[in-house]
Amino acid sequence: MDTVYHVMDVLLPFDFLRYTFMKNALIAMLLLTPLLSLLGTMAVNQRMAFFSDALGHSALAGVGIGMLLGVENVTLSLVMFGVLYAVLVSTVNRSGAATKDTTISVFSSMGIALGLLLLSRGGKFSSYSSLLTGDILSIGQQDLLWLLVGLILGVVFWAALYNRLLVSAVSPELAESRGIRTRWLEYAFAILVAVAVMLAIRWVGVLLINALLILPAAAARNVSRSAAQHALLSVLFGLVSGIAGLVISYVMNTGVGAAVVLCAGLIYFVTLLIRSFTTK
């Protein structure tokens, strides 16, 4: 990492990057925002924005259950619980026992309630309150390695699944007729989103993770004319939001996650205006 820091000092001689924790935060943004932006394109196409929000809420339960089981690695607890949670929600959804939005709402409510119940025992919830808003400035080198692995796997799976998910979103019947197993495709996508959300949740926060996942993709959809443009613009908007939010938070001494999401929201409304003018 010393070599990476040295290169950053040479190429980016900015005041806020003289601190190691700010360098780590910038690297995290460069790894995290492309991953969430790419997955966001699939979530937007699949109309599963609410699902990713429910996953974020369930993170508290993952930490709480991990604590009860004595699992010291918080990231491991989050990822394992997130995968199980995603599979369970997808299974109940496919059973048709209730509408998708109802099922997701029930699981979302129960997930955050279970997490609050477990983590608030003995008045200790304050120790975990950072999970609500995230703290990317505390990210370490080991965490950056997790994010790098997550980005590589995310890009590989996104490339493998995107076209089939797009066909499935347009017409499940057409997808089945072309030999696409929509059931396993849905499970694969749910697990992929779960892993990404749980890897990012400690640094972005429960309250903000869904916005960072969905806003760049939604903004890109406003102005893109093809699937390739949608993906590229989503990543670009995510990177711009992440870097701009990090700089703004440093200058104004505010929370990083909130600044990043506000930047992403501003980009969304700008693209919405562009779309309204170009479609007239």
What's the pLDDT at 10?
Answer: 82
230 near 224, Cβ under 8 Å? yes
206 near 131, Cβ under 8 Å? yes
CA 202 to CA 236: how far, in whole Å?
23
The domain in which residue 43 lies consists of: 2-278
CA 202 to CA 73: how far, in whole Å?
12
Q: Total domain count for the chain?
A: 1
What's the pLDDT at 272?
Answer: 92
Q: What is the pTM of this model?
A: 0.83
Task: Report the CATH number at residue 166.
Answer: 1.10.3470.10
For residue range 160-179, list pLDDT tens digits in order.
877 777 777 667 666 667 77
Mark the ranges of the chain whose per-residue pLDDT is less than 70: 96-98, 122-129, 169-170, 172-176, 280
The three-state (H, E, C) secondary structure of 50-96, written as one string: HHHHHHHHHHHHHHHHHHHHCCCCHHHHHHHHHHHHHHHHHHHHHHC
For residue range 188-222, list pLDDT tens digits in order.
888 888 888 888 887 787 777 878 888 999 999 99
What's the pLDDT at 143?
Answer: 83
